[in-house]
Chains A and B, each alone.
Chain A
Amino acid sequence: MPTALYRVILALLLLLPLAAHADDASDFAAANNSQQAQLLESWAAQPAPARIELINSLQQGQVTVDGQVKTLRLNNRLRGLIDTALASHQLLATDPKLRLNAAQQLQKNAKPAQLKFLDQQLATETDSDVHTALSLALANLQLVDPDPAVRLAAVRLLGETGEPLARTRLENLLQPGVETDATVHTAAETSLTQVKRKLLIGDLLGQAFSGLSLGSILLLAALGLAITFGLLGVINMAHGEMLMLGAYCTYCVQLLFQRFAPGAIEFYPLLALPVAFFVTAGVGMVLERTIIRHLYGRPLETLLATWGISLILIQLVRVMFGAQNVEVANPAWLSGGLQVLPNLVLPYNRLVIIVFALAVVVLTWLLLNKTRLGLNVRAVTQNRNMAACCGVPTGRVDMLAFGLGSGIAGLGGVALSQVGNVGPDLGQGYIIDSFLVVVLGGVGQLAGTVYAAFGLGIANKILEPQIGAVLGKILILGLIILFIQKRPQGLFALKGRVID
């Protein structure tokens, strides 16, 4: 009998998780908002592994009751609670990565009710990273512990991190009237200074990185222009539209992959590169042969005509794809980022673009300096008539050089599509900045363009947090005008007798 009873109880106990599961789902579906919140809070405080599936589907906004999928109406509060509950449950996972993510999540939004559970987990946690993260999450909660000794330990622990959240927590604690214990108060002040110092390093590095990132984007945008303007002397106001076309090529390639090769969609940007290059180079060459070639030696007219071209291209894209932005998604290997410091994440897409921009510069340099085409381009640049006499087909060289400049812009467009919105007006935002880069860098100098692009990018990002984006831009324009007073030919210019 006792054994029988024991078996029944055991069976019931074994069934309990399943039953709990089924009950939880129907309970949740039946409950009203405030009850749902209570449920979630209790789940977060006492997680059960069986509930993970349910909470996962809750996060998607769905719940399965009796085999039927119901869509839930969630408000922001509930969404937050679901996240907390999920994180709480994931602490039970076997994968340390999942546990780490969960612990980090809980640093932000753990509830006091979870204190006991976190304490238990901390005691059994074996992975050192997760342990640290978890102890921080716990420290956040312990700041309101009635025992000053616990609070003191928590404050000290927070001081050792470089977490942006630790700063807010400590600042809250230091609000007048919050912390009554003098020792804890002093310790909190020391901790806050420590945290701030660590955060400052991250901020500075972050600014430098976004400066580099902006610089690399400017470089991609301006490089093609440096070729068409610097080598051919053509002011191509439609250059921004070449960027835009490159971005739209990426969009189209993405659509094609979605339709015909959904399995390989991860790699669509790689195919988009050659497509964008050849499409924009083709467009560039057609424009050069039909319009721009008639305007050599008349730079102001070229400027107006190419502006006309840009208007037509913008409107064409608007008619074909609509005036709204189109969606270009990052593939998985370009999303996310590298966590260097608690407050410094380097997004993969930006890292890749920096490398890509430098690679394009190197390739362009090789093309211009080590190939026959490059030699021809330089010859035509220096003395068109003489080059023609030596048998250089100047017309063809012009066409190819213009195609090259446009093609590089197309490549830039692919890169831009991975970091910003893709719309018909995409190019307009870049054209003035790119021209400033070329003017600042000096005409016909790749090195100048590189320095100017990164210089402007970093200057922009340093000024931005101090005085705002707009004033920063205006200040930089002013600085460029003043700079040109000193060095009219740009950073890197050939000196010579013949300037005009």
Chain B
Amino acid sequence: MIITKLKDIDEIYEMIKPYSKILIAGCDGCCQPPRSINEAKVLGQMLELKSKMNGKKLTWKAMTVLRQCDDRIAGSTVRPYLDEYEAIVSLACGLGVSMLNRIFEDTLTFPAQDSMFGASENHGDNRYEQYCDTCGECLLGETAGICPVASCAKGLHNGPCGGQVDGFCEVGGYKYPCAWIQIYERLKKFNRLDLFNKFRPPKDYRLMTSPGHLELIQEYTNAIEEEEVEK
């Protein structure tokens, strides 16, 4: 899921200041905390109140989209409202905001949130943790499921380094656990220290380039076509 943080209300207000009718689009997708229609409504109320306090009338509508990062879903849900509103405020992550801007060329969509990172939700200790860095070269099979790229502050492929004391990392002032110690402990538990001792070459950062493109369905059909051509 994508972890997001609501922007400062002043910042959102500044963005929509030129408009008097706005559509507020929530997202029911993986956005965390969930930003569905009630959140859109609360944002609408806040913006209206802020406008009112500044002597301005703001009309708004709150609605929500199953997933804003899907062009067909986002397009068909948002389109019916477009005629009535001058701008859109999106409560999705950056993907949703970009998507709406691309689908609706004649309307500006503004982000209400900052997108932080992709993460897992831990209810136990009430935290969002970035366990994966989407690096394109998964090592989890060798590290007992703990990612050194995302969880080691230095992203080391072979660790631990000399910066750990009692299992805590020097980066951040010995507050966060050393990923490599955790990897060691967990591999030991499964009697798989053979994986720990294995040498891993440095990371291939070419696989992490941005922007990322992948033609999902085409990739396979192309391959089949190529095979057939070879034959």
Our verdict on whether A and B bind, yes or no, reads: no
Chain A residues within CB distance 8 Å of chain B: none
Chain B residues within CB distance 8 Å of chain A: none
